Structure 1
Amino acid sequence: MDWSHFIYFALPSVICWTIGAAMAYRTNKPGQVIGWTVAGLAIFMAFIVGMWMSLERPPLRTMGETRLWYSFFLPVAGIITYIRWRYKWILSFSTVLSFVFICINLFKPEIHNKTLMPALQSPWFAPHVIVYMFAYAMLGAAAIVAVYLLIRSWKRPIDRKVMSLCDNLVYVGTAFLTIGMLFGALWAKEAWGHYWSWDPKETWAAATWLGNLLYIHFRLHRYKLYKVALGLLVFAFVLLQVCWFGVNYLPSAQENSVHVYNME
């Protein structure tokens, strides 16, 4: 299995997710919606597993490989939201976003080799990144809802029920973000001898975590100020983007960070 096979898995997956998203609007049978979405996830996961076996390591080293996981977890976040709260449109949004990341990987393929630097040969490496990608997907879905509500608020009042969706997505995303940070601390202790060193990547990870905690705190104490809360959520998502890939382009990270390996 190599990158040239990706389109043969990605295309059927997107088709299944699209059918599932369309059926959410056209049928009252959630089982069919879930079935199509899960089928797409199974096909996509088959490629991830194949890459894992081919590379003889978790496909988590490069930005392209992390985008692979993000493309997978976006529909996961969408179907979880649909099952729990029956929001139909979230499946369409998650499918479109996943398709965007898939296209980026198709049009900008990266070299995937079996080389894995010693720091990444830790049992904490895979769970740390996988949990983080799921957290990013949940927080990304929350940010999408936030932007949608802000745009819609120009013409009509903000829907309280949809605001509660933002809250729930952020709760889940922040919980997994916290777990991912703990896994990362354990990984850092094993790889570099210390749990936390305020490396540029770690600093922005802390800023992302605090940004989402700020949203949660604001919603608990100023729950009627919807637009301000949504603005904070979008700001937290911007911090997340800097933490994920933007920090790699900062001079401080290129000179001092131990996390620049994903640029190689």
Structure 2
Amino acid sequence: MTWDYFVPFAIAALHFWGFGAFAAWRGRKPVIAGGLTLIGLAIFFCFIVGMWISLERPPMRTMGETRLWYSFFLPLAGLITYSRWRYKWILSFSFILSLVFICINIFKPEIHNKTLMPALQSPWFTPHVIVYMFAYAMLGAAAVMAIYLLWFKKKPIESREMDLCDNLTYVGLAFMTLGMLSGAVWAKEAWGHYWSWDPKETWAAATWFSYLIYIHFRLGKPLLHRRALILLLISFVLLQMCWYGINYLPSAQGASIHTYNLN
């Protein structure tokens, strides 16, 4: 399967995600919203698998390919959140965010070929990227919840709503930690050292510490909801810099070993 099939698969998946979000918003039975979302996830995952087979490598090398995984994991994170806490709007937000990343991939397709540089020909490559993308999706859901609580919710912020942000952050940070550890082992095999303070690694460390600060702030100041949410959004901005922002920094040009994601 080639990239030419992306649009029909994406449109089909988006339709099911949209119907699932609508069902949740209208208060239909959770099994209906969940089932529709799962069908959309299955359709989208079929395209990812098809690309994997066609490229003869995991579709994780370029920014466009990592956006594929993020577009997949966002509705999954929304479904997990909806299934656990029954926030009827979360599937709508995850649907919209996934739509944005899919549109970026449609209007700005990346180069997709079978080329895979030697450093990426490692058994750690696939789990490292998948774990990170899932972490990003969970932390993205936490950021969406923070935005909702800060600027859209008219009633006072409740403790259970902050608990949702905390739980999403706990899961996201746990997977991010696994991603960093697997990346360190991978780096040891590929370049002979676990950590080199490469620009990407530096921003990854800053992001990790920022979320850790959020967790400790919540434990120490549980009633300062708005300050905690602002800290959570700052952490998410750092995450965006870690993911793709460093590719546009002068300090990373020709120096970062992670800039291969641009092509």
Q: Give the TM interval when normalised to the shorter protein.
A: over 0.9
The equivalent of 1:75 in structure 2 is 75
The equivalent of 1:60 in structure 2 is 60
Paired residues of 1:152 and 1:158 also in contact (CA < 8 A): no
SS at match of 1:59: coil
1:256 aligns with 2:252: no
The equivalent of 2:213 in structure 1 is 214
Matches within 5 A, 1:1-264: 1-152=1-152, 155-264=154-263
CA–CA separation in structure 2 for the residues paired with 1:47 and 1:90:
24
| Residue 23 (structure 1) shift | 1.0
TM-score (norm 2): 0.98
| Residue 152 (structure 1) shift | 3.4
Identity level (%): 70
Listed as ranges, the gaps of 5+ residues in structure 1 are: none
Paired residues of 2:119 and 2:190 also in contact (CA < 8 A): yes
CA–CA separation in structure 2 for the residues paired with 1:251 and 1:27:
49
TM-score (norm 1): 0.97
CA–CA separation in structure 1 for the residues paired with 2:209 and 2:99:
29
Moved over 4 A (4+): none
| Residue 27 (structure 1) shift | 4.4
Q: Count the aligned residue pairs.
A: 263
CA–CA separation in structure 1 for the residues paired with 2:228 and 2:197:
28
CA–CA separation in structure 2 for the residues paired with 1:24 and 1:130:
27
Q: Residues 27 and 226 from structure 1, CA distance in 2 versus in 1: closer, same or farther, beyond 3 angstroms?
A: closer
Paired residues of 1:48 and 1:59 also in contact (CA < 8 A): yes
Cα RMSD (Å) of the superposition?
Answer: 1.0
| Residue 113 (structure 1) shift | 0.5
| Residue 239 (structure 1) shift | 0.3
Paired residues of 2:27 and 2:88 also in contact (CA < 8 A): no
